[in-house]
Each structure stands twice: as structure tokens, then as C-alpha cells.
Amino acid sequence: GDSVTQKQGQVTLSEDDFLFINCTYSTTTYPTLFWYVQYPGQGPQLLLKVTTANNKGISRGFEATYDKGTTSFHLQKASVQESDSAVYFCALVGYYNQGKLIFGQGTKLSIKP
């Protein structure tokens, strides 16, 4: 079945540092890939969506890219701010799996002021 692996459980950066979070996936179908962000006390919010057609998405200073060759997708931001502190989840939906989101385990991003 479809799976997503997100190995970076916690990342600690200083303001203005570069952020890079990586996920790898396994699927037999054409996936749509998502990044969700969860702030304390809230549910996950959609941050970015990447399909096999567009390979890249940009929102709120974040950029998501997708590499079919290595079956990986990344989230990056050039300069993080303290307000970016949150948990970031990667997820995928396979083309034939009825819209079921398969999540990674999440990366907790902490930004030191």
C-alpha cells in the first residue's frame, strides 16, 4: 500500500535560517502530494499541494518540490521566522485510493528568537 516516511522528528533553527524538510513516499499510482502545518491548539492547515504535473508549489514563502526519480518531496523556506514554529506534515493521496490521505509522522519546527 501507499506509505510516507518523514524522518526528521524535530528541527531547531534560528530566525533567518534556511529550512529544508524531506519526505519519501511509496505508491503504485500517480500521487498528489501535500504539506500541512499544524499550530498549537489547531488542526492541520493545508500549506502546499504538488502534483506530478506541476512538480512545484509556492505559498507564504514556502516552496514544495517533488522528485519522481527519488520518490521524494521537500519543503523549504529561505528564511524562517519565529511565527513558523509549528508541526509540518507531508502527506499523499494516491490516484486510486479514494482520497485517503497518508501522512508522515510530522516534523516539529522550533525557531529560536
Partner 1 sequence: DTTVKQNPRYKLARVGKPVNLICSQTMNHDTMYWYQKKPNQAPKLLLFYYDKILNREADTFEKFQSSRPNNSFCSLYIGSAGLEYSAMYLCASSRDPGREQYFGPGTRLTVL
Contact residues for partner 1, defined by CB under 8 A: 4, 6, 9, 32, 34, 36, 41-46, 49, 89, 93, 95, 98-101, 103-106
Q: Which is nearer to partner 1, 9 or 61 (CB)?
A: 9
Return the number of the residue (4 or 109) whose C-beta is nearest partner 1.
Answer: 4
Sheet holding 62-67, edge to edge: 3-5, 19-26, 72-77, 62-67, 56-59
Q: Least distance to partner 1 from the beta carbon of 44, Å?
A: 5
Determine contact, residues 17/109, Cβ cutoff 8 Å. no
- Among candidate residues 60, 106, 110, 105, the one with its CA nearest the CA of residue 85: 110
Q: Cβ of residue 38: shortest distance to partner 1, in angstroms?
A: 8
CB of 49 to partner 1, least distance (A): 6
Q: How far apart are CA 104 and CA 88, in angstroms?
A: 9
